[in-house]
Structure 1
Amino acid sequence: MDKLKSAAPIFAGVVTTVLRLPVFFIMENWVFSTEGEIWSTLILRIYGFVLAILMSTLQRNQLFKLYWNLTTGILLLYLPFQYVVMKVLEPALNGIKINDSATLTAFLLCIATGLLAVHLSEEKTWKAAVLMVNTLTVPAVYIGLPPYVTHYIHDFTATSILCNLFYRVSLSMFGLVEEIYLLIYLIRILGFNSVAKPILDSIQRPFLVFWLATFAYSAVHPVKEIAHVDWTTSLDYWLSFLSTCVEECCRTPVGLMATSVVVAYVASYARLLLEAFLYGFRRIGNHNTSGWIEGVAFFFISIQIGVLENHPTDTHKDVQRRSYPLKITSLLVVAIFLETTYQTLNSKIASFSASTKYSNHIRALMTYIILLLSSCFVVYSVCNLVSNGIFLPLVIVFGSTIIEIVGSLLVYTLFLYDFKYSAENLDDTIFYIKSSVGIVVFVGAVIVSCSGLWLVKNEGISWIQTPCLILHTYFKVWNKFNDGYDAFILRRNCRKKINSLPWATNERLRNHGDVCSICYQVMSSAKITPCGHFYHRNCLQKWMNDNNTCPLCSYRISV
């Protein structure tokens, strides 16, 4: 019994995910239908869009009520009306005599579906009897009313049922508005991340299931130009087959969104795998990494490159040409993943100290090497695939990631050397390395911004490239410049403070008779702070790069 209770939330989650799947088919057939199709009318598009929003955002209880009401509408409108129109109404309007058995069958079908709809209805009072209006058409035909009266009664019946259905859907809309107000209230109390994460997870799962179903369908029904391939002998055709299946999943806007969600999942778990390698697979904690940056990047890059465009697929060359934009997009997204992963793991590696286990330091070095080799391979692959100068700035951006990784790897190696051998003037060496890397990365970012401005001047403003150029200029140029300038000013002030402090004489060092309070090593020379404390010069400089107070008494040190 306890196992059943524990499995109930899982079962409810699976049911909820399945109930959200029609959203994707509604979006593809209604919202994105082309002119001339059955769903291309404006009213049906709006209604389909509203249904898609409700099915994708309503909470579980409200979603069940929505399906309950839609089931009621189908019972009242679709099932009996198909039989009534074909067997009773159309023959009567055409002057054809109707069998009593057909009339009785239609009447009983209307009564049965009406009673079932009344039973399923949320209204348990006499108002639910209004749903029995679907039985009016059959008696009107049986008693021999004029055809135009019978037609009006049929239209009145259909309109009444549709109005009831629209009323129930509008109640779901009001329920959605109430949920939005509740979410705003919870965001104010708990914060955005704690409230948004469960909602995003509930939206991601249907996208993932939809993509898996689409991928499975593409794998079972391969396109004709690759269906004849002997898969047991050629790895290249296996890769071609997989890329074709993924490309088939990206043919529609909804499929592209689902593929972007899958990319976010893959990036998130790949980053988690690297983090587990860094800390040890047994010590990895909760899964807090996210892959939304890679997912959003995949979506917009795919639109910009033209993955959604339809191409002929008559020959195997056409398959390769059609999969070319997808290969470029995948490589660019992998490069973005490597950059964001480096930024995430680099801050965690920086927290390692001399007390950290030696095996963790080895893992940190291996992590840098893995990121470096992967970035080099991506840049090499992009250079081989792309000959257009438009993508050269992107190569520069990802090349700057390689330079940053090399700089971090060199700095971390020097830190390990300092832990073992206590190198002199290491702080200055690390500062020069970081400054050189920062200058090279900054120059590359400026080149990319200038290239983007040149593209805007020659090709005009693009709704994807222009915002990316603005974000790149702000984060990679402006913020980098401010950070570098602030670091330079801080170090210059730190140097002035250190140089302004007096050196301790040999007599004062002997009278002091203590070790440096920062490194706990014997002092052969020391700087004296205004509060009278003794420190190694290098130790005090490292401390004052981030602080302007005495390490022991927090006395403010100024020039």
Structure 2
Amino acid sequence: MSLRSKALALVEVLLRVPPLFVVDEFLKISLGLPVSAGEEVSVLSNITDDHVDISDTEAIYYDATFYNAFAFILLKFLVCCLGCMSALCVFVLYTKHLIIVYLYLLSLGIVFVSYWTNVSAIKQIQALTLAATSTQPSVSILEDILNLNLKSLLDLDGPGILVVQNFAIQFTLSVIFRNVHLGPRHQTLQKLLPITFMAPSFLAMLPVPPNLLHHSPVFSALLPLCLVKYVLWSSAYDVIHVIYAGYQHGRLFVSNFGLSALVETEWIRLNIPCVLRVFWVLRVAEHAMLLLMDNYDEDSDEGLKVSTLLAVQSLASMAKSLLVTGCETITAVLGMTSVISFFCHYIGSFFQWILLTDEEEDKSIGTVSAILFYILALQTGLTTLNPEKRFVRLCRNFCLLFTALLHFLHNIVNPMLMSLSASHNPSTHRHVRALGVCAFLIIFPISLLVYLWSQHTISTWLLAVSAFSIEVIVKVIVSLMIYSLFLIDAYRSTFWEQLDDYVYYIRAFGNTIEFCFGIFLFFNGAWILLFESGGAIRAVMMCIHAYFNIWCEARAGWSVFMKRRTAVNKINSLREASVQQLDRLDDVCAICYQEMHSAKITRCNHFFHGVCLRKWLYVQDRCPLCHDILYKIDNDPTKDNNSEDSNEDNSDNQNILLDDEDPDLLLGEGVR
């Protein structure tokens, strides 16, 4: 991407940031309405009055306060919704329409800045003129200019300097307005605009009546304001047409490609992650500037003598304050989520660089981390907590997120370990890199657990973090044990029939531990839901966890167990080859191409390793060489009529693939 393209992309991102600030400010508005002190006093005075009944007072209070408060809250809610909707509509506009909106807002802002600048300058000029007339005869600025009264004109506290400053400001504003306004650009209007902006400054130089000079800023703003109003009314049809065209485009796109395709397309077009990151960084920078200004004022009173310890404490307090304010609204949480996704992506890229891998599937760590953090924020009600509790909850969410990140790193290193051991890779440095990452995935969770249990009392959050950490340790140990078995098998000169059983038992042990932790986490979440902090989002997440991590895992594990048991029973029904038969055959197994010291004989008189044949049965029930039935269903001759049906059933099952979690699939033909 060229430098010009990068600059245009950055400008487009910056153009979409202000609508997010508008939404953020609307979300900060509280919908509550406390009772005012005057109302409380009036109610108390009515209660103490002997001629007013208490029930009547309560009715008056209810009618005068409750309904007014409800109407005011409803009005604020509608205004906030309208403001958020308008800002989001501006956010999703195409770049050309977005520029038009900003040009209109800029021209409108220039009109108001010009008006308030003129008002401020005229007030100061009138005050200085009034103070001067009390000591000397009234002399206008124009007379000073004609008389070349440089002393009065160059007086820094005099009205002449104010007029010159206002001249410069209004001329600059008029030039900007002439170039950015979207109204008709007639030559006469373009020439009148600078005169209109600078008219109050001209009048301030003349000996005009104070009342006329006082109202001159209003008249100077009429022409540019009329142009802005004309643009607004003349563009109303275009605005409605753009909104309707966008609606039609979205509706047609959804009907043709689906809602998910529309969301993905708009996500890429708007560059939402980058926009959210820029918004959050600017938002945090704004709060940091305010905190620095406050600290500077406090330090200036104390002589700017701050020790190193106090400076560190001040930085820690500032960081805590920035983190708290950085997640006080939904938009702020989205921005923080995007920043966390950015850092997690590069953490994953760092470990990919260590492992010398570049798998595309492993690059989704940033997306997964963002989704997990945002779900945790919604689940724990992060935006509704007070600052102190919000900081504690945020730290806990970060801890949970990092333990989940360790699981993702294990998913990256585990296939690497299996590949290195099964493919007999002689590259020592790749083995060292993978083992180093595994060591980190064991040492860091243990250190984290030691620190957390020494600094915090037992709680549901601590139990959840501990479960996640122990689970990742168990998964890494299981991966290392299987990696060791594969390495031992790689240096063996003979076929190792028990390898498949050992791998199955190790994986079964690890999967059982993970399943038990899944049940434990479900009950831990149920306790939190019932007794600590409930909520619809937490209930939905618990249902998802119960289905995917408990029910689906239990069903998959039981399916693997039944497949294995069925395959073992089928293999046991086959004849065992004798040593004389193997010597007479003098051949290798057609599945793994290894020498046969023991073998099973199929109905079609083909010889295979029992372990290889068992793994083949996970795929289909026919011979790998002649595609005949591998085993007999029933030896009863009276049921031969059903053999064709059995053959059809077996042929229907020949395309059944082994589940991804099945450990035996990893020991297939490619391993040998």
TM-score normalised by the chain length of structure 2: 0.63
| Change in 2 beyond 3 A, CA 1:11/1:515 | same
- Show CA shifts across 1:168-220 (max 9, x none): 544443354355346536745996797466247x1111221223334445555
* The one of 1, 7, 20 aligned to 1:11: 7
How do residues 102-501 of structure 1 correspond to structure 2 at under 5 angstroms?
120=182, 162-164=232-234, 169-181=239-251, 183-184=253-254, 187=257, 195=265, 198-199=268-269, 202-217=271-286, 221-222=291-292, 224=295, 230=307, 242-279=319-356, 288-302=363-377, 304=380, 306=382, 309-311=385-387, 323-347=391-415, 349-352=417-420, 353-359=422-428, 360-387=430-457, 389-391=459-461, 392-421=463-492, 423-458=496-531, 461-501=534-574
Map of 1:33 onto structure 2: 29
Alpha-carbon separation, structure 1, partners of 2:531 and 2:312: 42
CA change 1:505–1:397 in 2 (3 A) is same
Distance, in Å, in 2 between the alignment partners of 1:348 and 1:191 is 33
Partner amino acid, structure 2, of 1:210: F
Change over 3 Å in CA distance of 1:113–1:439 after alignment to 2:
closer
Q: Supply the distance in 2 between the matched residues of 1:521 and 1:233 (Cα, whole angstroms).
A: 72
Q: CA offsets, 1:241-292, max 9 Å, x none?
A: 6455434423443322211111111112212222222235xx6779842423
Q: CA deviation at 1:366?
A: 2.9
- Structure 1 contact 27–254 (Cα < 8 Å) conserved: yes
Alignment map for 1:480-559 (pairs within 5 Å) = 480-545=553-618, 548-552=621-625, 557=630
- Work out whether residues 335 and 398 of structure 1, in 8 Å CA contact, stay in contact via their aligned partners in 2: yes
Mapped to 2, the partners of 1:418 and 1:236 lie a distance apart of: 57
Q: Classify the secondary structure of the residue corresponding to 1:464.
A: helix
Partner of 2:102: 67
* Percentage of matched positions with identical amino acids: 22
Tell me how far apart the structure 2 counterparts of residues 6 and 155 of structure 1 sit (CA, whole Å): 41
1:42-69: CA deviation from partner (whole Å, max 9, x where unpaired): 5653443134313433343443343344
CA distance in 1, matches of 2:537, 2:613: 49
Cα distance, 1:482 vs structure 2: 0.8
Once residues 388 and 463 of structure 1 are traced to their aligned partners in structure 2, the CA distance between those partners, rounded to angstroms, is: 26
Contact 1:27 1:52 in 2 (8 A): yes
Over 3 Å counting, the alpha-carbon distance change for 1:540 and 1:453 in structure 2 is same
84 and 259 in structure 1: CA distance in 2 versus 1, 3 angstrom threshold: same
Letter in 1 for 2:372: A
Between 493-502 and 339-348, the greater mean CA deviation after superposition: 339-348
Pick which of 18-27 and 391-400 moved more: 391-400
Consecutive unaligned residues in structure 1, runs of 5 or more: 89-100, 143-151, 313-320
- State the TM-score, normalized to the length of structure 1: 0.75
Structure whose CA Rg is larger: 2
Which deviations, in whole Å up to 9, do the C-alpha atoms of 1:328-370 show, x marking residues without a partner? 2211110121123323543555455324444334433333332
Give the direction of change, closer, same or farther, for the CA distance of 1:176–1:485 in structure 2 (3 Å limit). same
CA distance in structure 2 between the partners assigned to 1:228 and 1:465 by the alignment: 49
Consecutive unaligned residues of structure 2, counting only runs of 5 or more, are 34-72, 123-141, 143-162, 200-211, 213-221, 634-672
Matches of 1:332 and 1:81, distance apart in 2: 54
Matches of 1:500 and 1:247, distance apart in 2: 68
Q: What is the alpha-carbon distance in structure 1 between the residues aligned to residue 250 and residue 426 of structure 2? A: 49
CA distance in 1, matches of 2:120, 2:310: 57
Number of residue pairs aligned between Structure 1 and Structure 2: 520
Tell me which amino acid in the other structure corresponds to 2:567: C
Greater mean alpha carbon deviation, residues 263-272 or residues 477-486: 263-272
**Secondary structure of residue in 2 paired with 1:270:** helix
- For the residue of structure 2 that corresponds to 1:291, the secondary structure is helix
- Report the CA distance shift for 1:6/1:233 in structure 2 as closer, same or farther (over 3 A): same
- Residue 458 and residue 285 in structure 1: after superposition, are their counterparts in 2 closer, same or farther (change >3 A)? closer
